[in-house]
Amino acid sequence: MPRSPLTLAALATAAVPGLDALAARPAPASGDYDTAVVTDADGREWVVRAPRTVTAGAALEAETALLASLEHFVTTGALPFTVPRPSGYALLPEGGRAVVHPATEGRPVDVESLRPGPGLAADLGRAIAAVHELTTSVVSDAGLPEYTAEEYRDRRLAEVDEAAATGRVPARLLRRWESALEDVSMWKHQPVVVHGDLGADQVLVAHGRVVAITDWAEARVSDPADDLAWVLVSAPPEAVDAVMEAYQLRRKELTDPHLADRALLVGELALARWLLHGVRHGLADVVDDAVEMLVDLDETTADEE
């Protein structure tokens, strides 16, 4: 049973000494978490997150450890944006902890409104590149996953195989995915620290620049294409060039001619993951939605061939 905003407000009050909660509203969250924004007596806003499962609880603990390490890179300027700073914890009756941190500045980025040039699109490229330039030890020290390029390609292959087994993916689309995954030259890249769940809701902007990135529970060492996929798929084509140019300028010794190709593929494979989510959880509406998008993608990419 999901926790109500009032329940989460009570957890926030227990977690942060002196926090006098006056109001609470639900907030969107990825993964198995209950999340709310709590307003205190001084008008300050706080975010409280509580895991719904043991797995989510372990991920939240790892994320908390990672955030502590990332704070150093924020302070030194290596990361040109802020990250959540946990202020307190509340034990949950079933085990695990709820985490509370001050709400971060900014609003979710509107990717479709990005424009070419040295503005927000370029700043977004630099922000993503800064994450990818982090030392990989921040991930390993937090107990988060690390994958070689080959291991991650194998994971993608397994994902496509599972999607194919549903019988709901167009055959032509499957062949194209399999061909790309079997092209070893596309997957010769240097694994880096990635956010792992990057999207508009996680990238907060203000005054024309990226000011915060949130929700780091899926961070890992793997393919940098994962963090670029949503931009390449959603942003206007003319803005994508600005994002990628700024990204490449910010990266050191970047030699990855197939980065954009993999990012576009990752964006397509997100539909396969959406299909599998629906199949695994028996959600017929999700399956139907995924199938409709897969058919549209198949028709679009066929026209491009």
Same domain, 299 and 159: yes
Say if residue 97 is in the same domain as residue 116. no
Domain limit, last residue, from 87, 104, 121: 104
**How many Å apart are CA 82 and CA 92, to the nearest integer?**
28
Range of the domain at 170: 108-304
The answer on 225 and 181 residing in a single domain is: yes
Phi-psi map region of 207: left, alpha, beta (phi>0 left; psi -120 to 50 alpha):
left
Same domain membership, residue 193 and residue 166: yes
Do 70 and 143 belong to one domain?
no
CA–CA distances in Å: residue 54 to residues 61, 84, 94, 208, 235? 11, 22, 9, 39, 36
φ/ψ of 272, rounded to 5, equals -65, -40
The 10s digit of each residue's pLDDT in 176-221 is 999 999 999 999 899 999 999 999 999 999 999 999 999 898 999 9
If asked whether residues 122 and 98 sit together in one domain, one would say: no
Among the three residues 71, 104, 137, which one is the final residue of a domain in this structure? 104
| CATH classification of the domain holding 151 | 3.90.1200.10
Residue 303's pLDDT band (boundaries 50, 70, 90)? low
| Whole-structure pTM value | 0.90
Indicate whether 305 pLDDT > 60: no
- From 84, 104, 124, the end of a domain falls on 104
Question: For the domain that residue 75 is a member of, what is the CATH number?
Answer: 3.30.200.20
243/259 same-domain check: yes
Number of domains, the chain: 2
Residues 88, 112, single domain; the answer is no
Q: Does one domain contain both 58 and 198?
A: no
pLDDT confidence of residue 301: 81
Whether residue 165 is found in the same domain as residue 292: yes
Of 222, 212, 59, nearest to 155 (Cα)? 222
pLDDT at 42: 92
Tell me: do 231 and 254 sit in the same domain.
yes
Claim to verify: residue 30 and residue 165 sit in the same structural domain: no
Summarised one tens digit per residue, pLDDT across range 6-43 is 999 999 999 999 999 999 999 876 668 999 999 999 99
- Mean residue pLDDT of the chain comes to 93
